[in-house]
Structure 1
Amino acid sequence: MLRILGVREVDQFESYLGLPTLIGRAKYPTFSFLNDKVWKKLQGWKGTLLSRASKEILIKAVAQSIHTYTISVFQIPMKLCDELVALCAKFWWGKARNERKIHWRSWDKLSTSKKDGRMGFHDLRAINLAMLSKQGWRMIQETNSLLYRCFKARYFPRTSFLEAVESPNNSYVWKSMLAAPLILKSSHCWRVGNGCSIQVQGDKWIPNFPSHRILHPPNDDVEGWVVVDLIDHELHE
């Protein structure tokens, strides 16, 4: 097949467009190239000659942006997240010769917003989940896209993306994408249009209300009811 098509065989850990092509059970070695990239960047900067403001800019604009493309597709291992955070923390606090300086504040404190008096560094795990949730939102909004049609045919042909579950032999991209429905379902609320797709009892659709759901269902059996059943169309004529 290689000879007929005139193509070469791809090695297991080669990348395509900067992303790994095949991911095995060991996820950490697959994504360890992120650690190497950040370490090389930090080693090339003369940390002892930089002010705090310069270090802040370099960490936010460079060190914490190298992995943006990767974490928008894959959920990277927690161990790798911790190592990337540790590299940035060491650069921020600096070194005294070959000894590590004291870290006077935890990185969790430094990652808090500047509005709260902190440094506003990125929380890598939170950013990873936010990027995957953004991809999930695109899956909901752009149902005509090739990405949506491929994933739907393969992983959730009989349900919606928000109700999709992990299936046997699924890819790591899909496993990563499944982090999105949990986040989206916890924070999203329907904007009522014609009401044909919104479940009265199960979905969140009531605006300006803490739970966005009805508290006390009517005495009638509401299973299968959608919001359109509650709309009096004569009032709109």
Structure 2
Amino acid sequence: MIYQSSIQFGHKVDEVAKAEMQGVLRITNLGGTGSYLGLPESLDGSKTKVFSFVRDRLQGRTNGWTAKLLSKGRKEVMIKSVAAAVPTFVMSCFRLPKAITSKLTGAVANFWWSTNGQSGGMHWLAWEKLCCSKQVGGLGFRNIDDFNSALLAKQLWRLIEAPDSLIARVFKSRYYQNSNPMELIPSYSPSYGWRSIVSARSLVYKWLIKRLALGNLFIYGQIPGYQLNSRDQL
């Protein structure tokens, strides 16, 4: 028996099929209520409730930091090296709801503006302006929504660039058997993971480049809104 593994079934799978699958895989434990690598095994129900642990984890870091009396320069380093890293793994896999990202932004902003150990000091400047680069007057903090989109776009690009990877083969067999992940193909009851990844299509489209080969001459051009097809090279 494989005691350290668990298996989870959809609600439409009958008991006979469940028993047969468990027998073939030799997995007797049923999952879905725990977590794996810090991520919940099941994403049923409200996504705000499912991903509330990310908000709680970050707020625990900011509220527990004795560094509230640090200088602004040290707070900047701590925000960029610690606070920004807390939700990174989750955002690489799923699209966080706006309610969660706003809470994360608020927790970091309160830590930044806190004074004398008191949280929630006066916010003298909009957080969006602080997220701009230092060349234009900001501090280079990450916009959480934009960072989430960038991480998901990276996952989408990996499906295109590495079609033989395990995750690409799994998604291809389920969602785009005779196509590619950039095409808008309707699918029945897609997983939240897949919906999260394809939500970054617009960002990948924005920077998509098509290469045309004319003998030994290669012409590159950015094509706004271009729909990738299986004959194109990336």
TM-score, structure 1 normalization: 0.77
Residue in 2 aligned with 1:8?
Answer: 29
Return the alpha-carbon distance in structure 1 between the equivalents of residues 79 and 64 of structure 2. Answer: 13
Partner Cα separation in structure 1 for residue 86 and residue 113 of structure 2: 20
SS at match of 2:103: helix
- Which residue number corresponds to residue 12 of structure 2? none
Percent of aligned pairs sharing the same letter: 32
Could you list the per-position Cα deviations for residues 66-94 of structure 1 after superposition, in whole angstroms to 9, with x for gaps in the alignment? 11111001001011000000000000000
Do residues 88 (structure 1) and 122 (structure 2) align?
no
Establish whether residue 152 from structure 1 lines up as the match of residue 172 from structure 2.
yes
Of residues 106, 110, 124 in structure 1, which corresponds to 2:126? 106
Confirm or deny: 8 A CA contact 2:111 2:119 kept in the other structure.
no
TM-superposed CA distance for 1:35, in Å, is 0.8
Distance 1:166 1:107, change over 3 A: farther
Where does residue 206 of structure 2 map in the other structure? 186
Give SS of 1:161's match.
coil
1:127 alignment counterpart: 147
Specify the alignment match of 2:84 in structure 1: 64
Moved more, 143-152 or 129-138: 143-152
Work out whether 1:207 is the aligned partner of 2:227: no
**Distance (whole Å) between structure 2 residues aligned to residue 45 and residue 99 of structure 1:** 11
1:191 and 1:212, CA in 2 relative to 1: closer, same or farther beyond 3 A? Answer: farther
Deviation at 1:36, TM superposition (A): 1.1
**What is residue 13 of structure 2 aligned with on the other side?**
none
Q: Return 5+ residue gaps in structure 2 as ranges.
A: 1-18
Give the whole-Å Cα distance in 2 for the aligned partners of 1:185 and 1:95: 43
Q: Which moved more, 1:175-184 or 1:73-82?
A: 175-184
Q: Over residues 8-50 of structure 1, what are the superposed CA-to-partner deviations in whole Å (9 max), with x where a residue is unaligned?
A: 33243x2111111111131011111111111111122124421
How far apart are the structure 1 equivalents of 2:207 and 2:133?
Answer: 20
Aligned residues: 206
Unaligned regions of 5+ residues in structure 1, if any? Answer: 196-204, 214-225, 228-237
Residues 143/52 of structure 1: CA separation in 2 closer, same or farther (3 Å cut): same
Alignment counterpart, residue 40 of structure 2, candidates 20, 23, 43:
20
AA aligned opposite 1:71: M
Which has the larger Rg? 1
Match for residue 44 of structure 1?
Answer: 64
Q: Distance in 2 between matches of 1:53 and 1:98?
A: 18
Question: Match of 2:30, as an amino acid?
Answer: E
Query: What RMSD, in angstroms, separates the aligned Cα atoms of the two structures?
Result: 2.9
Q: TM-score, length-normalised on structure 2?
A: 0.78
1:165 to 177, 185, 203: 185
CA contact (8 A) 2:206 2:225 kept: no
Deviation readout 1:152-192 (Å, 9 max, x if unpaired): 11011122211043522110000001113222122211123
CA contact (8 A) 2:68 2:116 kept: no
**1:99/1:60 CA distance change after superposition, 3 Å:** closer
